[in-house]
Each structure stands twice: as C-alpha cells, then as structure tokens.
Amino acid sequence: MARPVGQEAGHWYGEVAVHVRALAEAFRHHVQQSEGPEGLLPQIVGAQSRLIPAVQAVKREHQVLLVAMSRLEAAAGPSQGADEHAVREDALRLLHDVAVHRQRGSDLIYQAYYVDVEGGD
C-alpha cells in the first residue's frame, strides 16, 4: 500500500487486488470458523445468553467487512481504473476496520469467559 504507484500502475493495482483477495479468503475462513455450528460465536451464546446482541453485532460486522473487501478488490482490478489515492484510502480504512474487529472479538471473548458477572473476582 505504501509503495508509490509510479509508472507501474497496473502492477501496483494487481498487487493490491492479490493481497485483498488473500485477506478476503482468510476472513471468509474466519467467518465460517467463528459462526459455524461448532464455532466460537455459538459457544459464546450458549455460555452467556446476555451477549447475544454483541454476537449479532459481530456477525453483522463480518458481512460489512466482506462487502468492503469485495469492493476494494473490484476497485483495484485492472479494468477499473480507480484513483490510486482512493484505493489506498479504502485499503487503509479496511485494515483499520479489521483491527477494530479483532479487538471487538477479543473484548467479546473476555466478556464471555473472564468477567465475573456477579461482581466478585
């Protein structure tokens, strides 16, 4: 992302598309693993039904992130001719959003398994 586009714009866009495709593939795997019948999200709901709204929010976030990845991959495609600055901004925003999602997931796990709801330590 940080590399200047220069005269090799086609190559830069191609690399971005490849990396976004790999990220999307890994993220789809994450979604399948966490939302599947044996996944962490159903386990959290089973252990702490009070967290159902938080689990639903994480599932919605999964879909929003997958859509953002698809759009970025399409924008970086060779035939799109998207503005390099817009692609770079979208990619950086996506990376930020994935990092926030990761933290939200960690917080959810903590709430489900490490916080004593009764108030004692």
The structural domains of the chain, with segments of one domain joined by +, span 9-113
Mean pLDDT of the chain, nearest integer: 88
Q: CB-based burial of residue 66 (10 Å sphere; 0-12 exposed, 13-18 middle, 19+ buried)?
A: middle
Query: 101: how many CB neighbours lie within 10 A of its CB?
Result: 17
pLDDT for residue 112 is more than 70: yes
pLDDT digits over 11-70, tens only?
778 888 899 999 999 999 999 999 999 999 999 999 999 999 999 999 999 999 999 999
